[in-house]
Amino acid sequence: MTRIQQSKLFITVVVVASVVFVGVSFYYLGLVKSLLGILLIQAFIIFNNRKQKKNMQTFMVARKLYDKGRYEEAITMFLKYLKEVKEEPDKEKTTLLNFGMYTQSSVAMSYNNIGASCIEMGYFQKAVESLERAIEVDSDYAIPYYNLAIIAMIRGEDELVNRYMSKLDALGYAATIDQITQKIELLPEEVIE
């Protein structure tokens, strides 16, 4: 079972277990005790998320810059976050509820996002270096392989595209050549010329 399949199964189990927990607690404990228990659980989750939010603040700022198309600024902030994690390694491991569909490593995500930013600006060699670093951190993280397939397609390296597509399939990430082509079409013309 791939990590992606495991994550989907985990989310389904958590949702079903939560519904069952609420139903059983109402039945056996009554309304007041059940609500009190639910409030305690929510307080724990909120406290845990505040700690994660504080530790991930630089990462989240970088991600917002990326989403706004401010790629050079995003790269600067992702590099700052990587420096913070290097200086304080526990910063990446901030929550009991930390899980991701594709990776649990914010370091791997940072390298991937640096690579994606470089693709958007046409710096393909720098992108490849960052994406390979993301894979070094987490070799089962599918998104860097997807981004590498984009670069390989832009460069006309069909054999490499097929190798990355096979790796994506093995990791359980459903991607098609058409999706990669569509992503390339969204890039600025000066980037792919």
Instruction: Give pLDDT, residue 99.
Output: 54
C-alpha separations of 100 from 3, 8, 22, 69 in Å:
9, 10, 25, 23
The per-residue b/e assignment along 33-47, b for 16 or more CB within 10 angstroms, e otherwise, is: ebeeeeeeeeeeeee
**Residue bearing tokens 């969204």:** 186
For the chain, the structural domain boundaries read 55-192
The mean pLDDT value for 7-23 works out to 71
Which of the two residues, 94 and 158, has the higher pLDDT score? 158
Query: 138 pLDDT exceeds 60?
Result: yes
55-192 belongs to which CATH class?
Answer: mainly alpha
pTM of the entire predicted model: 0.77
pLDDT at 113 (0 to 100): 97
75 touches 61 (CB < 8 A): no
Predicted confidence band at 146 (pLDDT cuts at 50, 70, 90)? very high
What pLDDT score does 153 carry? Answer: 95
Q: pLDDT tens digit string along 58-88?
A: 998 999 999 999 999 999 999 999 999 999 8
**Rounded average pLDDT over 147-158:** 96
- pLDDT the model gives residue 53: 64
Residue range 38-55: average pLDDT?
65
Nearest by Cα to 152 from 107, 173, 174, 183: 183
Length of the chain: 193
pLDDT at 90: 76
**Nearest Cα residue to 140 out of 163, 108, 179, 111:** 108
Report how far residue 166's alpha carbon sits from residue 162's, in angstroms, rounded to the nearest whole number: 6
Q: Is 50 left (phi over 0), alpha (psi -120 to 50) or beta?
A: alpha
